[in-house]
Structure 1
Amino acid sequence: MNTAESLRKDALQIYFAGLHAVEADTCIRKYMAVKENSLTIGGKTYDLGKYNNIYLTGFGKVSGFMAAAVEKLLGDKIKKGIVNVRYGYTTPCKYVKLNPAGHPIPDSSGINGTKEIIDIAKEANEDDLVFCLISGGGSALFELPYAGISLEEIKEITASLLKCGATIDEMNAIRKHLSLVKGGRFAGLCKAEMISVILSDVINDPLETIASGATSPDPSTFQDCEWILNKYNLHHKIPVSIQQHIQNGIHGYVEETPKPGDKIFDRVSNIIIGNNRTALAASKEKGGQLGYNTLILSSCIKGEAREIAKVFGAIAREIHASGCPAERPACIIAGGESTVTVKGNGLGGRSQEFSLSAAIEIDGLADTLILSAGTDGMDGNTEAAGAMVDGTTIINAKSKKLHPEKYLLNNDSFSFFKETNELIVTGPTKTNVMDVMLLLVK
């Protein structure tokens, strides 16, 4: 096996080690235990015998896998439940209905499922217990707009926010203020005690941002929404009904989302069971086992994907020149969620765009590989999780008459990597904790 093949094999092992550590069932088993009528989760113990009924609700790409794992622990203690999941992310469940719906653009199936989730929340009484299983993607999968705002208008503003390069915090601030269930409002619909079990896909795990914080206080305001629309010059691109709704909120005609200190959260426990740092730690361990000098750079990477890739290229060249920040064989690991400001009409996602930009930066650099891939197995509007490149990627592409700069300009990284055969295709995974980025230098 030559060095290039060895690097690619190692990179995939390191990447998948991170994924396996944050699979839904792995995290549920690690943080949640049931013995007879005693439930222990997040360091807190609950007497399940004191509740008349136990319900399961949830929303997110991998919340169905979370539901299946919770079913194994609670069994017939569950009265009923419903969880909204992304199309293609279902798994067999006995007591809980899984409702496939649209992501990243919400659809009518998601809204119908949300209504059923609300029905369960309202059915539960003070002497019941409601689990809410939350994972990334919940913002699109758990939606019920205010009266006067249509699903098509929600789709329109979601697409605009995705295209302009808005951060996840900014996107969710707006989505929370257009919704009857986001931004802590769902917690206010339920009289029962609630345990939210959360797999985080957001940098630093702010509860108010993960899946738009349906069960946690929301510090953002309608005024913040106005600022975000101005920042990205979106006023002329969004429906009039949404503009009017935000203005009504600013002037106090629409109630703000529940804020920190609201009594509705006294009966809610929010427990994070897995995040990007968990994945990076497992990847670091695997890198060490494979003989690399391994370093976690950060789990808080954000910004334009193509610009972040330039930094990774610079680190690669520094390792070759000085052995900093790690001696060869070096493995630099990072995670987070970059953004892409879409100006072209190609196919791709942030991980593939990162990898294409990185390929340009490390062109001709020997014994070097860079990988970027989403942990959920889906990158942007494609079937791939990401891509991995080395110092020969651009040379080989040009031999096929491919011009990487043109593909990058058109945001068409998927088409480029389909031609070079460097896509990472995993299919749906059982997790979603943002992206993993690797730099290997032998």
Structure 2
Amino acid sequence: MIQFQSPSLGEGQTRERRSKALAILAAALEAVDPEEAIQRQVFLADDVLRVGERTYDLSRYRRIIVVGGGKAGASMTKAIVQILGPRIAAGLVNVKYGYTAETQIVEINEAGHPIPDQAGLAGARRIAELAKEAGEDDLVICLISGGGSALLPLPSEGISLEDLAALNDALLRCGATINEINAVRKHLSQIKGGGLARLAHPAELVSLILSDVVGNPLDVIASGPTVPDVSTFAQACEVIEKYGLWEEIPPSIAERLRRGRDGLVPETPKAGDPIFARTYNLVVGSNEIAARAAIARAR
């Protein structure tokens, strides 16, 4: 067996190297801290809200509504409330049990993760209602982070959480890839696959995203509630056909997928759809951002 020996270090050198390593780690973690990530990208000066490279004149909007879901949702909400305060008219964000925080104005709703539950369904239903209530002169701010897919469970009409659970079990057992699973479940949700953007249209929509996916594919993070969907009903049906699952999945799901493939159910919104004309998606934190911060601190 090959053994590697580290050069002998004195106590002072060891302490110094450990201190530097911890400082590098701290820089990486701080770069993706949910509150810090929001505060680095969102600024308010008088009536002008700056988000990334865009600005919004808040005097033009009747209401500001905050919605979202994910394990970092409470911290992200705290940051937005600190910035906007009483300018926010209403809001609700679904978070994992035990991941809550004290916030004002915006309700934090604890729900099941990774298995969606009735609390998550109730919260997602209220989020959909808030989005649908938003008009052309409203600003909707959406907070998305890891776990958002399970924490925003609002099935399409006629499909239950139990139906989705049975589908997920079947897809996992057969070895379907994450992209294949996403293609199917986006077509069974009112929120995933651009569904939330569709609900919020024609309001102005700003989505602040804390990514937990390598490469930050926006249609994958939390199943892409505010971005165009690249998959189709036909592709979802191909997945079911590929693994021979038509007889295993609930009838309600099989019927919706077939009807969608035949053009009897509206497709998920695609790139170029007018509903995205007033939508801005911004990644505020990611593995890449953490790595860059660590490198900068190491130098």
Give the TM interval when normalised to the shorter protein. Answer: 0.7 to 0.9
Distance 1:268 1:122 in 2: 15
Question: 1:139–1:175: 8 Å Cα contact kept in structure 2?
Answer: no
Which of 183, 199, 212 is residue 189 of structure 1 equivalent to?
A: 199
Residues 205 and 197 of structure 1: CA distance in aligned 2, closer, same or farther (over 3 Å)? same
Residues 131 and 284 of structure 1: CA distance in aligned 2, closer, same or farther (over 3 Å)? same
Which of 271, 276, 284 is residue 260 of structure 1 equivalent to?
A: 271
Q: Over aligned residues, Cα RMSD in angstroms?
A: 2.5
Residues 11 and 236 of structure 1: CA distance in aligned 2, closer, same or farther (over 3 Å)? farther
Shift of 1:195: 0.8
Shift of 1:167: 3.9
Q: Which runs of 5+ in 1 are unaligned?
A: 290-442
Residues 284 and 133 of structure 1: CA distance in aligned 2, closer, same or farther (over 3 Å)? same
Question: 1:59–1:138: 8 Å Cα contact kept in structure 2?
Answer: yes
Residues 285 and 179 of structure 1: CA distance in aligned 2, closer, same or farther (over 3 Å)? same
Counterpart mapping for 1:360-371 below 5 A: none
Aligned length: 285
| Residue of structure 2 equivalent to 1:158 | 168
Distance 2:263 2:232 in 1: 11
Identical pairs, percent = 47
Shift of 1:78: 0.7
Residues 132 and 227 of structure 1: CA distance in aligned 2, closer, same or farther (over 3 Å)? same
| Residue of structure 2 equivalent to 1:240 | 251
Distance 2:36 2:232 in 1: 36
| Residue of structure 2 equivalent to 1:103 | 113
Shift of 1:27: 0.7
| Residue of structure 2 equivalent to 1:59 | 69
Is the partner of 1:224 in helix, strand or coil? helix
Structure 2: which amino acid aligns with 1:64?
A
Distance 1:165 1:200 in 2: 25
1:27 aligns with 2:7: no
Note the alpha carbon deviations across 1:280-317, whole angstroms, 9 max, x for none: 2234456x47xxxxxxxxxxxxxxxxxxxxxxxxxxxx
Question: 1:168–1:209: 8 Å Cα contact kept in structure 2?
Answer: no
Shift of 1:231: 4.6
Distance 1:8 1:105 in 2: 39
Residues 267 and 242 of structure 1: CA distance in aligned 2, closer, same or farther (over 3 Å)? same
Is the partner of 2:208 in helix, strand or coil? strand
Give TM-score, length-normalised by structure 2.
Answer: 0.86
Counterpart mapping for 1:56-95 below 5 A: 56-95=66-105
Shift of 1:147: 2.4
| Residue of structure 2 equivalent to 1:148 | 158
Shift of 1:110: 1.0
Note the alpha carbon deviations across 1:35-55, whole angstroms, 9 max, x for none: 121111111111111211111
Which of 172, 184, 187 is residue 182 of structure 2 equivalent to?
A: 172
Residues 124 and 276 of structure 1: CA distance in aligned 2, closer, same or farther (over 3 Å)? same
Distance 2:217 2:97 in 1: 26
Distance 1:227 1:221 in 2: 10
| Residue of structure 2 equivalent to 1:251 | 262
Shift of 1:14: 5.7
Which of 272, 284, 288 is residue 277 of structure 1 equivalent to?
A: 288
Structure 2: which amino acid aligns with 1:74?
L
Which of 125, 130, 151 is residue 120 of structure 1 equivalent to?
A: 130
Shift of 1:164: 5.0
Structure 2: which amino acid aligns with 1:226?
C
Distance 1:15 1:22 in 2: 11
Structure 2: which amino acid aligns with 1:86?
K
Shift of 1:59: 1.0
Structure 2: which amino acid aligns with 1:251?
D
Distance 2:174 2:79 in 1: 37
Residues 229 and 111 of structure 1: CA distance in aligned 2, closer, same or farther (over 3 Å)? same
| Residue of structure 1 equivalent to 2:52 | 42
Shift of 1:163: 5.2
| Residue of structure 1 equivalent to 2:10 | none
1:209 aligns with 2:242: no
Shift of 1:75: 0.8
Give TM-score, length-normalised by structure 1.
Answer: 0.60
| Residue of structure 1 equivalent to 2:209 | 198
Is the partner of 1:203 in helix, strand or coil? coil
Question: 1:32–1:40: 8 Å Cα contact kept in structure 2?
Answer: yes
Is the partner of 1:189 in helix, strand or coil? helix
Shift of 1:161: 3.8
Is the partner of 2:231 in helix, strand or coil? coil
Residues 280 and 169 of structure 1: CA distance in aligned 2, closer, same or farther (over 3 Å)? farther
